[in-house]
Amino acid sequence: MSDSIECPKCGKKTVVQRQNDVYQCLSCDFKKDFSQPAKPKSDNKFLWVSIITFIVALFLLGATDNTPNTTQFEHLSSPVPEPVQPTRN
């Protein structure tokens, strides 16, 4: 039974142990040092979803018709002129 380790990058079973905590693939440039803590992966998915949602919300707010309904203001516009009656002194 072989203790060969498959490379996570190229898939070949050519990973060898170089040092106590260092493994390296002979077929590609994969190298992993297990003595150092793994770097947390930055999850930018939430950031992008937030930005896109914000832009869509701004677009929808800007696309709404903000002009007032002018028919309801017709009676508030200038009144119908009435004939001026001459005054007698």
Mean pLDDT by 10 residues, the chain (89 residues): 78 90 91 79 81 90 66 59 76
pTM value > 0.85: no
Whether 27 and 14 have beta carbons less than 8 Å apart is answered as yes
Question: To which H or E segment does residue 22 belong?
Answer: strand 22-25
What tokens were used for 44?
Answer: 């930018």
- Taking Cα atoms as reference points, which of 22, 23, 28 lies closest to residue 10? 28
Give the residue extent of every domain in the chain.
1-34
